[in-house]
Structure 1
Amino acid sequence: MMAGTAESGYAAALRELRGAQKTAKGVSLYSRYVNRPAGRILAAAAYRAGLTPNQVTLISAAFSFAGVAALALVRPSWGLAAAVWAALAVGFALDSADGQLARLRKESSPAGEWLDHVVDAAKIAALHAAVLISFHRFFDLPGPGWLLVPLGFQSAALLIFTGGLLADKLKPRGAAAAGAPAPPPSRLRAVALLPVDYGVFCSVFLLLGSERVFLAAYTALFVVHVLFLVAFMAKWFRELTAIRPV
């Protein structure tokens, strides 16, 4: 009887979560069809277990930073590649779950959102720092200049994260609602955003078993992030400039 009640509680939470999703606008295909559904399953399980959104955020951080620590401390191998990717991917899914759980429990709060963003920023900074440490300790790099790649990647990733966050916060609320209905999310845009999706970035660590392949893939993603950074910054500045002061 108790097992049936637990199952029905989980199923009910899952059904309610399906109708309480954030907009798909500006979201890549990976986040829309992989990470958010995975987060929904984890959010329903967390709800059934009685966890709070902040607890889920901290569990997400534990998985992510376990992957970061392994990357920095353990010599690269195919086994490490799978372990780091799994830790980062689960951490990312839990990062989606905490917000979904907050909406399900109707407990969204500025403090919870702040904690989530602080963990995200720390995760981005630490992950690229761990790549730098791994490069220095374990990789046979073509030259010392390659150590600058993780530093540049870290800067580009943090600027995309903070720039997008600030642009969203500074835009007037309710502006879109006053006009025509918002168009459906663009699938082409969702595909184009894949290279800068954190979940796609995590998959590059599956290549850690080969130094040359990982270095090439990581550097290619760095170049893509720099190009997107320039495009995003121009877009966000243009949009914020168009806002008339009250």
Structure 2
Amino acid sequence: MRGAQKTAKGVSLYSRHINRPAGRVLAAGAYRLGLTPHQVTLVSAFFSFAAVAALALGRPSWGLAAAVYLGLAVGFAFDSADGQLARLRRESSPAGEWLDHIVDAAKITALHAAVLVSFHRFFDLPGPGWLLLPLGFQLAAVLIFTGGLLADKLKPKAAPAAAGTAPAAAPSRLRSVALLPVDYGVFCLVFLLLGSERAFLAGYTALFAVHVLFLAAFTAKWFRELTAIRPA
């Protein structure tokens, strides 16, 4: 499994030290059971969308908070497991990557849509304008996801390191800490506050503000990097 890991560059501490190790255990179990990477992706989708449905349909409570968080966290761990399993089985493919990204995009949009439904059905909001909050958060989250994905695809791939060259520098711990507020696993933690309307609204709003700030910073960085690329 060690050889089936992605680089830790640009990854937050949560994903590096919690989600990926959990995904490693799940990938090993899936390998022993003979599951394919596509099947693991669908298991991830099942847990994630079960949590989304519970959020939209259930009245907020501490029990619902635990159930929603657990579903999202387990789904996120399986989301890490499918790629590790594919690399372990040497079955990485464009179709598998496409399916993984489609599920991720659907999960992001559906989760914030479920928050909007919950706000409308169950929350005593200070005013109707607060219903725009999940829509704004959804927009910021989708732009961060698609912007980062496209930037990575459009950048020229680095040539493999030649034998005998110095190893790549270790990932920045400061950067991995700074990325925590926009890590999906950290975002899932806010749903543990669903038992208190005021606490959840405050936590969700704070994370929205952080995502907007990171979106501005990421967009400027990605555009600057892509502008520097000279056509061949």
Tell me how far apart the structure 2 counterparts of residues 112 and 231 of structure 1 sit (CA, whole Å).
30
Distance 1:155 1:176, change over 3 A: farther
Match of 1:14 in 2: none
Write the mapping of 1:20-35 to structure 2, written as runs, cut at 5 A: 20-35=4-19
Write the mapping of 1:10-49 to structure 2, written as runs, cut at 5 A: 17-49=1-33
Structure 2 SS opposite 1:227: helix
Match of 1:70 in 2: 54
Q: 1:90 aligns with which of 74, 81, 87?
A: 74
Write the mapping of 1:63-142 to structure 2, written as runs, cut at 5 A: 63-142=47-126
Q: 1:230 aligns with which of 216, 223, 226?
A: 216
Match of 2:194 in 1: 208
Match of 2:173 in 1: 187
Partner letter of residue 111 of structure 1? A
Q: Report deviation, 1:184.
A: 1.2
Match of 2:225 in 1: 239
Q: Report deviation, 1:173.
A: 1.0
Tell me how far apart the structure 2 counterparts of residues 166 and 176 of structure 1 sit (CA, whole Å).
21
Tell me how far apart the structure 2 counterparts of residues 121 and 153 of structure 1 sit (CA, whole Å).
14
Partner letter of residue 226 of structure 1? V
Structure 1 SS opposite 2:8: coil
Where do 5+ consecutive residues of structure 1 fail to align? 1-16
Tell me how far apart the structure 2 counterparts of residues 58 and 20 of structure 1 sit (CA, whole Å).
20
Match of 2:45 in 1: 61
Q: 2:3 touches 2:88 (CA, 8 Å); kept in 1?
A: no
TM-score normalised by structure 1 residue count: 0.91
Q: 2:140 touches 2:212 (CA, 8 Å); kept in 1?
A: yes
Match of 1:145 in 2: 129
Tell me how far apart the structure 2 counterparts of residues 202 and 144 of structure 1 sit (CA, whole Å).
25
Tell me how far apart the structure 2 counterparts of residues 175 and 167 of structure 1 sit (CA, whole Å).
18
Tell me how far apart the structure 2 counterparts of residues 54 and 138 of structure 1 sit (CA, whole Å).
36
Tell me how far apart the structure 2 counterparts of residues 91 and 205 of structure 1 sit (CA, whole Å).
14
Q: 1:218 aligns with which of 193, 201, 204?
A: 204
Q: Report deviation, 1:20.
A: 2.3
Percent of aligned pairs sharing the same letter: 84
Number of aligned positions between the proteins: 230
Tell me how far apart the structure 1 counterparts of residues 168 and 222 of structure 2 sit (CA, whole Å).
19
Q: 1:176 touches 1:182 (CA, 8 Å); kept in 2?
A: no
Where do 5+ consecutive residues of structure 2 fail to align? none
Superposition RMSD on alpha carbons, in Å? Answer: 1.3
Structure 2 SS opposite 1:23: coil
Partner letter of residue 209 of structure 1? G
TM-score normalised by structure 2 residue count: 0.97
Tell me how far apart the structure 2 counterparts of residues 77 and 127 of structure 1 sit (CA, whole Å).
17
Q: 1:68 touches 1:127 (CA, 8 Å); kept in 2?
A: yes
Partner letter of residue 22 of structure 1? K
